[in-house]
Structure 1
Amino acid sequence: MKHRALDSAFLIRHTVILFFGILTVLPFFVLLSLSFKDSTQFNLQRWSVTFPFHWENYDAAWQAIHVYIGNSFVISGVTVIGVLVISCLAAYPLARIHFFMKEKIYFLIIALLMIPFTLTMVPLFSLVIEFRILNSWLGLWGPYIASGQVFCIFVLRSFFSSLSEEMFEAARVDGASEMRILFSIVLPLSKAIIATLGVLNVLNTWNDYIWPVMVINDDRLMPLTIGLMVFQKQFTTDWGPLFAGYVIASIPLLIMFIFASKQFVEGLSSGSVKM
């Protein structure tokens, strides 16, 4: 009886997991199927796979959004590099160097995590206008880097503090400077957590819509999220290219996660990021 109960519980648990797994994956298969349909197939056979596949949908979608994808690469790439460089340079002294009011400065930084972004949008927009960087990538990079580094400093400071003190003492005895210790010892040991933070920052900037739509009006500078809205207006009744555009827009994130998945999982399981 005990074995039967365990088998029943095992079956129920995995059935529930499978059900929610299918619910997670199903929308992506529907999206992929819709991206190959023309208007007639979409109206008459929306939820089934239809033949022939209309590959020209992808050509039309690519011609319409490739500029926006390039813009998003530039915006996200510069943002992630800026966030990680500044966060590492800020987190190391907060973790390993003693200086006046260090703890107070650290608590002031992490206190910013408690402030919702919606409360800072209006003053931040006023600063962007004041600095005359409206309708430029600087108007995106500055706020993205400033807001993104708070969480990264919090995580990296905790991780750097957990490293063995003996390594730092031995390096200092050998005459290594603090910058040499950071780049030769700390950063190589922090690859997984840095990769995790990089992936999270790419997701935040790549998928953000509200701030870019406030700052960017020039069609040549628009990131992908705004570009897809423009694209949607162009293909209001032609659904195939529209869904093909959504598929193309998701491919860079899928490729990034495939290549960074090992480091991402290592960073999450290291105990430094609690999701």
Structure 2
Amino acid sequence: MVKTNTGFLIKHGTIFLLGLLTMLPFFVLLNLSLKDLTQFNLERWTVSFPFHFENYTVAWQTIRKYIWNSFVISGVTVVGVLTFSCLAAYPLARMNFFLKEKVYFLIISLLMIPFILTLVPLFGLIVKLHMLDSWLGLWGPYIAGGQIFCIFVLRSFFSSLPEEMFEAARVDGGSELRILFGIVLPLSKAIIATLGVLNILGTWNDYIWPLMVVSNEKLMPLSLGLMTFQQLFTTNWGPLFAGYVIASVPLIVLFMFASKQFVEGLSSGSIKM
């Protein structure tokens, strides 16, 4: 009994310690965001009063346009990726057509090509299509590139669904599109939510591609806007760290609302982490 209790305490104590170490940087960031310049220089690592919540007002006035741009970019991208991926994965999983398997293997073979190798030809294509400094210059490559992994995962999930369900729907006169939207997609909410979260994380945090395509500050996403924001508040640390806190809030809120579906999608067996 003593050994059991000791093992329980060690296991949960280790988990608590690791969780605390994970959250510690965010608590430090939150503490620094509430200081003025004097407090930052003299009491950097301790909690000091009064709190300067005006740092958040100053930071929000500068950073809100970049957050909105990231919402537009990530929102349109995730809708486009999931829509085209579902429409492509369903026939690859549940329909028969000429060279079906070869088309599928050709698509997933693109997963073996590192993204960095496609930057130069992709940038040349964007220049020829006159998409620099435009939403399409960001949406197009994100939607095209994000589909590959989603098709791979969704095709595996759709293939695992029982064939009898599809046969019954076809006997009742259901078209393939009706089967997809009426039966398959409602059963795939967890895996679609997981892919959506992963896609949003990828586009929200991406820095290299927006840096190459966007030079107009009105179109800059948050990843680029933070660099401009940092230059504005080089020595005014309070608003700078307040901006970093604000920038982290959307993803935290997203995971809070999608955490249940995200965990269900990971545990469904379609994604092996």
Q: TM-score, normalised by structure 1?
A: 0.97
The one-character-per-residue Cα deviations of 1:30-77 (angstroms, maximum 9, x if unpaired) are 111111000111111111111111011000100001111110000000
| Match of residue 198 from structure 2 | 200
Identity %: 74
Give a deviation string over 1:164-189, Cα, whole Å, max 9, x none.
10110001001111001001000011
Deviations 1:77-121 (A, max 9, x none): 000000000000000000000001111111111111111111111
Q: Which residue of structure 2 aligns with residue 98 of structure 1?
A: 96
Higher mean C-alpha displacement, 9-18 vs 95-104: 9-18
TM-superposed deviation, 1:16? 2.3
Q: Structure 2: how far apart are the matches of 1:55 and 1:26?
A: 21
**CA distance in structure 2 between the aligned counterparts of 1:39 and 1:245, rounded to whole angstroms:** 15
Which of 227, 249, 252 aligns to 1:251? It is 249
Query: Which residues of 2 match residues 49-68 of structure 1 at below 5 A?
Result: 49-68=47-66
Q: Distance in 2 between matches of 1:48 and 1:104?
A: 61
2:210 aligned residue: 212
CA shift for structure 1 position 13: 2.6
The equivalent of 1:69 in structure 2 is 67
Q: For residues 197-235 of structure 1, give each alpha carbon's deviation from its aligned partner in whole angstroms, at most 9, with x where no partner exists.
A: 111101100111111011100000000110010000000
Matched residue, 2:141: 143
Q: Cα distance, 1:8 vs. partner?
A: 3.4
Runs of 4+ in 1 over 6 A off after TM superposition: none
The letter for the 2-side match of 1:106 is: Y
1:47 to 45, 48, 53: 45
Question: CA separation in 2, counterparts of 1:149 and 1:65?
Answer: 30
The answer to whether 1:232 aligns with 2:201 is no
CA RMSD of aligned residues (A): 1.0
Structure 2 residue aligned with 1:173 = 171
Among 173, 189, 192, the residue aligned to 1:191: 189
1:22 and 1:260 map into 2 onto residues whose CA distance is 23
The residue type equivalent to 1:80 in the other structure is V
TM-score (norm 2): 0.98
* Structure 1 portions without partners, runs of 5+: none
Task: Give the whole-Å Cα distance in 2 for the aligned partners of 1:62 and 1:211.
Answer: 25
**Alpha-carbon distance in 2 for matches of 1:166, 1:178:** 14
Gaps of 5+ in 2: none
| Letter of the 2:36 counterpart | D
- For 1:90, give the aligned amino acid: A
1:87 aligns with 2:85: yes
Number of aligned pairs? 273
Separation in 2, partners of 1:252, 1:25: 17
Give the alignment partner of residue 124 of structure 1, picking from 122, 125, 128. Answer: 122
Q: Deviations over 1:122-149 (max 9, x none)?
A: 1111111111101111111011011111
Q: By how many angstroms is 1:14 displaced? A: 2.5
CA distance in 1, matches of 2:128, 2:241: 39
- CA–CA distance in structure 2, aligned partners of residues 231 and 56 of structure 1: 16
Q: Please name the residue that 2:132 is paired with.
A: 134
Residue 39 of structure 2 corresponds to residue 38 of structure 1: no
Q: Which moved more, 1:248-257 or 1:226-235?
A: 248-257
